[in-house]
Amino acid sequence: MFRTAILCTLWAAAVLGPPLNKDRQKVLLISFDGFRWDYDLDVDTPNLDQMAKDGVKALYVTPPYLTITSPTHFTLLTGRYIENHGVIHNMWFNTTTQEKKQYYQTQFVNAWWDNGSLPIWITAQRQGLKAGSLHFPGTASSYQGETALVQEVEPRFHDYKNETTWQENTDKVMGWFRDQDLDFVSMYFGEPDGTGHKYGPDSPERREMVKQVDRAVGYIRASAQRHGLVDRLNIIITADHGMSTVKRGPGVDEIILSKIPGFSFQDIAFHLVDYGPSGMLLPKPGRLETVYNALKGAHPHLHVYKKEEMPAHLKFGNNDRILPIVLWADLGYVINGYFPVQFNKGEHGFDNKELDMKPFFRAVGPAFRQNLVVAPFETVNIYPLMCHLLGIEPEVNDGHLSVTKHMLVTSGSSPEEREGDSWGYQKRLFIGFSAMGGFLVIAFVATVSSKLLKKPKNKRSKSLESLPEKVDIKQTTL
């Protein structure tokens, strides 16, 4: 009995032992801002092409609406639609004081980001992993008092297109993985968005920037090789939105709200317009219907909705931060307030159903199949995929692992078969305690049987003669 109990304890201890981290896979999430799904079709991109051969390529992915930088990036980090995670705009604003902060300043308004949804950095760290972020929107803030373990925010007047800086930052991130043993890093590049805005998505300047992005992809993979990370690092490269050419000039009926009959800014308490093709209005008390009726149907390329009546596919209405009236324009048009003040040749922020708003997607690494092209999917599904690769339990999100799981290999090297430490350890815990209980029951039966065998044989004792042999068989099976 004593010897059996010892064996039982040792065996259960082996089962219950702490999870092994030696083969844990790492994840690098990269965003090239504004990289439209088809940007590689009119440019020679050998590195992106090779990445597709070595891994997975989606025809395109669909971002959430509103298709602008901060909201869509926070969806990548949380797996939630914008109305659910609450980062509804690039700009923080206060409807009472009329204050607005531009994109960079908004990065440092903690309450704008920390409003209930946890980015994957925090979730990973709470489950025993280490995470970092470089320049990714949301990096500057803390969440429930926690930040990414390693973080770097770009300086205020950062040159987002400097290729030398791209390479330096790439080596820095690879060093985080190797030298600080980080498990997850998000990394942001501000191009080709800036070039697409300035010159337009069909310009030669945009094509040259895509070549630079392609060189960066080659450098990223080479740096992973130099740092000895290839066997453990899964690289996911995507973007926040696409880009579309702005329509201007003779023959274009521009949207200028102040010129619409029956509409007056005197009826507006606060507004977010002159920021591309989307806008929001807060009418003064009692003026909502007046404003709404004046704008609804007033321009053939302007869509006007009360927030509670927003089209279901946009999933942009059910949040207190969204103003009562939401505006957006047809592809190619921008919304001007008093008079035109926007001069970009390219814009985003349009309906996410528009093909021009779709970003690209590539993934490569030990967990991913090779030379696989997959159908389009929504970017909310990237978050549960990353959690699966890291072996962590995701927060509540709007994505589904089933959408992306077919991208993963089925060999023993996949995280699917190795199991993440969180779920795998729980299973081992259950098995261990079950085994311990089973062994103790068997040991008890064996002891009782031994005592019974010492008594004079009768029908009952004869029926127990074979019990020790059966116990041994059961123990061998266990």
Catalytic residues: 69
List, in sequence order, the alpha helices (H) in 17-109.
Answer: 46-54, 69-78, 82-85, 103-106
Contact present, 245 and 355 (Cβ < 8 Å): no
Neighbouring C-alpha atoms within 13 Å toward the C-beta of 76: 32
CA distance 280 to 274: 10
Q: How deeply is 373 buried, as exposed, middle or buried, from its count of CB atoms within 10 A (0-12, 13-18, 19+)? A: exposed
- Give the distance, in angstroms, between the CA of residue 127 and the centroid of all CA atoms in the same chain: 18
CA-based torsion, 65, 67, 71, 75: positive or negative: positive
Contact present, 240 and 69 (Cβ < 8 Å): yes
Contact present, 118 and 144 (Cβ < 8 Å): yes
Query: Residue 462: CB partners within 8 Å, gap ≥ 6?
Result: none
CA distance 54 to 46: 12
Query: In angstroms, how far apart are the furthest CA atoms of the chain?
Result: 112
Q: Is the peptide bond between 19 and the residue preceding it cis, with omega within 30 degrees of 0? A: no
C-alpha dist (Å) from residue 191 to 88, 156, 188, 197: 22, 16, 9, 10
List, in sequence order, the alpha helices (H) in 201-358.
Answer: 204-226, 288-295
Tokens for 264?
């007056």
Contact present, 4 and 443 (Cβ < 8 Å): yes
CA distance 209 to 164: 14
CA distance 362 to 281: 38
